[in-house]
Amino acid sequence: MSRPNDVLGKSDAELVRLSLQNQDNFLFIVQRYETKLLRYIRRISGVSAEDAEDVLQEVFIKVYLKLNDFDPDLKFSSWIYRITHNQVISHYRRLKARPVGLALGENSQLIDSLISSLNLEADVELALLRADIYKVLNRLDEKYREVIVLKYFEDKNYREISDILKKPMGTVGTLLNKAKDKFRAEFERHKDIHVQFL
């Protein structure tokens, strides 16, 4: 097994190669991705922390079992996010229930990026706006919510989103534009309801 300091600067592809040579090295892939993937699972599914941990464990089992099938021409992060995406869908099917909410976490820089991209009204108090974003995202269809989460909360580019969702890049662009339109409309509806109760 490699020493932890030896692998810090290694690329994902190198970690995959090391893991295929010695299964003990798979731990370094787990350590590199566990926090990111757990956050992603919570953001797109809204499951409890315990359920998210269960899904994550299933993800790493699948990644380990399929590591020989990884295509080094692809980006490893897109490949592992794709497996995670599929595992979340499998988890939905087993539960036969829609997610009840999102666990997006507080990352004001990412939220500000989404706000800026959507050209939402500048006069809305930012703290209120951040809280409302989570509520609005919860109301979007899964396909729209996931593409927004991947772009603005997971900071994935179009190529990575295309690889994760297994959709052409043009479709990803169209889906993201529709998602932003749906978000804008839902945000306006939410804002109007909020103002009525003030």
* pLDDT of 100 strictly over 50: no
Q: Which CATH architecture has domain 4-95?
A: Orthogonal Bundle (1.10)
Q: Looking at the predicted structure, is the pLDDT value of residue 94 above 80?
A: no
State the CATH architecture for 108-196: Orthogonal Bundle (1.10)
Identify the band that residue 8 occupies on the pLDDT scale cut at 50, 70 and 90: confident
Using the 8-state DSSP alphabet, how is residue 48 labeled? -
Helix (H) or strand (E) holding 57: helix 49-66
Domain boundaries, the chain: 4-95, 108-196
Q: How far apart are CA 151 and CA 157, in angstroms?
A: 6
pLDDT in tens, 36-59: 999 999 888 878 889 999 999 999
pLDDT, position 122: 46
Instruction: Give the whole-angstrom CA distance, residue 129 versus residue 115.
Output: 9
pLDDT above 90 for 106: no
Instruction: State pTM to two decimals.
Output: 0.70
CA-CA distance, 27 to 121, in Å (whole number)? 46
Q: What pLDDT score was predicted for residue 81?
A: 95
CA dihedral 72, 32, 99, 44 (to 10 degrees): -60
120-142: pLDDT as tens digits = 544 344 545 666 777 788 888 88
Residue with the larger pLDDT of the pair 180 and 100:
180
